[in-house]
Amino acid sequence: MAMILTVLGYVALLILGIIGVVLALVSAAILRTEYNLRDVPTAKNKSFFLGDIKYLGNFKEKVDVPLANVLFLMAKQLGPVYYLRIFWKPHFIASAPEIVKELLLNSKHTKPQEVYRGFQKLYGQRFMGHGLVSEVDHEKWFHRRAIMNPAFRRKYLMSLVDEFNAGSEALCQQLKEKADGKTEVLMLDELNKVTLDVIAKIAFSMETNAVGDPSCPFPSAITTALRGMQKFHDRPWSTVDPWSTSMRRGTREAISLVRETGREQIQERIQARKRGDHVPNDLLNLILDIAKDLERDNDFQMENMLDEFVTLFIAGQETTSNLLAFTFVQLGRYPEVAKRLQAEVDEVLGQKHTIQYEDLAKLEYMMRVLKETLRLYTPVGGTTRVTAHPITYKGITIPAKANVTVMSVIMSRMEEYFDDPLLFNPDRFKPSEDGSLPRHLYAYFPFSMGQRSCIGQQFALIESRIILAKLLQRFTFRLDQSQSFGILDELTAKPMGRCMNYITLRV
């Protein structure tokens, strides 16, 4: 017994020694970080070991707003460049146009692996893998972007207008049954369905029928996957938390449903092409043409194609529906904007059943409304880069190899770049008469900018205008003012009240 106690004592001392060494190393790393960044603004109420984790959590809980808004409030306090410390590692938040320009236009500054790890693989299940959003290696990303680019060129997008019209028409027919002025309609959910149907049809010739079939599994799967991702970012320990077992399993199953659906679609298409069957001229076909049916490019195989499938399937649906939902919220809150937009739709389109590509350029005010919505409620608030070299701004130096986040949603609320920034005013995007550059250049980037800007930007804006125009042609919308007008974080930003409306047919 004495010998056992002696051994246990030595083991305990060894464990305590190891803990002591780890604490000493962590403490040294923390002190080094704080010393090296002593001239950079940061929050004062830090936990020594946790850094700003607890402070951010308390701040968010206290003001009950998404993290992006918390970072904005901190920018108001600390200035355009500050850092947060997570354990010993600093993370910079910048809201200066000069830094945005440097980070986003210089491809030497790359995406950080640790930020996009959850996009690549979530709870043990490959998610977006190394798709266009989540690939951090610039050379590999550049190669994939070259494969995808032809599918998003203007000439091809012009040919998709009929499909956008068809999807919008299906939604209109579905909403007619609820257009009694009394039935509560969650427009976010309806818009999720139509944008899902459109991206599935246009990209992969899939008939998901989410608008007409309540049992369609894909809207729920996408929501589950995004909520799982949000949980992963908010609470990294959810990967091992025994109380999150059900959530992890549900997330994996949702991702698996989307990926395996994509695998079936791609394999069937490749076989049809080999047989010489007639195949649709969709995005998938264009990509397979360039990728030589995934057989001659060692860096673009089936799993890589599935990464792009999932990325397109989710990003092509989620961001557009969120933009439209926020737009309807703002139209309900600003009736003078809604009235003016309605008048433009009536003047440009009248009773036209099919909207032509040429009509979209005439919807000038609508484009300004969408831009203003993106300014205040961009679905993706910002992006992060790892600095390739030190960046100096007004005496503050951000070191090389530092993570720096720039956020359009922060800069869009700053008086330095926008007059009366919290006012919803689409006319702020009216072109200047003298042709001068706007002062918000490099402060407004809802689709990012530079080489890694969103490949689907024009796709989303064309789709949004057609859906919005068709809905305003047919219906009058009355926003339920009792709903919450907060922002819900589910990886992308969406209206917390889900854009609750009462609809009536126009006569």
Same domain, 14 and 57: no
Q: Is the residue at 151 inside a domain?
A: no
Same domain, 396 and 430: yes
Measured CA to CA, the distance from residue 399 to residue 91 in angstroms comes to: 11
Same domain, 399 and 418: yes
Instruction: Check residue 201 and give its pLDDT.
Output: 94
Same domain, 60 and 89: yes
Measured CA to CA, the distance from residue 364 to residue 345 in angstroms comes to: 10
Q: Which domain holds residue 32?
A: 1-36
3-class DSSP assignment, residue 7: helix
Task: Write the burial class of residue 235 (CB in 10 Å: 0-12 exposed, 13-18 middle, 19+ buried).
Answer: exposed
Q: Is the residue at 422 inside a domain?
A: yes
Measured CA to CA, the distance from residue 466 to residue 3 in angstroms comes to: 81
Q: Is the residue at 65 inside a domain?
A: yes
DSSP state of 430: S
What tokens were used for 100? 């945005």
Q: Is the residue at 481 inside a domain?
A: no
Instruction: Check residue 60 and give its pLDDT.
Output: 59
Same domain, 429 and 399: yes
Domain boundary among 395, 421, 445: 445
Same domain, 19 and 71: no
Residue-by-residue pLDDT tens, the chain, 507 positions = 677 767 677 777 778 878 888 888 888 888 898 889 889 999 887 888 888 887 776 665 655 567 888 888 889 999 999 999 988 899 999 999 999 999 999 999 999 998 899 899 999 999 999 999 999 999 999 999 998 998 899 999 999 999 999 999 999 999 999 999 999 999 999 999 999 999 999 999 999 999 989 999 999 999 999 999 988 988 888 898 899 999 999 999 999 999 999 999 999 999 999 999 999 989 999 899 988 888 878 778 999 999 999 999 888 898 899 999 999 999 999 999 999 999 999 999 998 989 999 999 999 999 999 999 999 999 888 999 999 999 999 999 999 999 999 999 899 999 999 999 999 999 999 988 776 778 888 999 999 999 999 999 999 999 999 999 999 999 999 999 999 888 888 888 999 999 999 999 997
Same domain, 392 and 420: yes
- How many domains does one find in the chain? 2
Domain boundary among 445, 470, 492: 445
Q: Is the residue at 430 inside a domain?
A: yes
Measured CA to CA, the distance from residue 171 to residue 163 in angstroms comes to: 13
DSSP state of 270: H
Q: Is the residue at 20 inside a domain?
A: yes
Q: For the CA atoms of 198, 202, 205, 210, what is the dihedral angle to 10 degrees? A: -10
The phi, psi pair for 93, rounded to 5°, reads: -120, 125
Same domain, 441 and 423: yes
Residue 217 near residue 257 (C-beta atoms within 8 A): yes
Instruction: Check residue 427 and give its pLDDT.
Output: 96
Same domain, 25 and 45: no
**Separation in Å, CA 436 to CA 402, 409, 421, 439, 449:** 35, 24, 20, 9, 20
DSSP state of 428: G
What tokens were used for 318? 């989620």
Same domain, 32 and 50: no
Instruction: Check residue 433 and give its pLDDT.
Output: 74
CATH of the domain at 66: 3.30.43.20
Same domain, 62 and 11: no
Q: Is the residue at 79 inside a domain?
A: yes
Domain boundary among 393, 425, 445: 445
Q: What is the DSSP string of 39-72?
A: TS-B-S--BTTTBTHHHHHHHHHHHT--HHHHHH
Contact residues for 159 (Cβ-Cβ < 8 A; gap 6+): 281
Q: Is the residue at 209 inside a domain?
A: no
DSSP state of 237: G
Task: Write the burial class of residue 367 (CB in 10 Å: 0-12 exposed, 13-18 middle, 19+ buried).
Answer: middle
Which 3-state string (H, E, C) describes 92-112? EEECCHHHHHHHHHCCCCECC
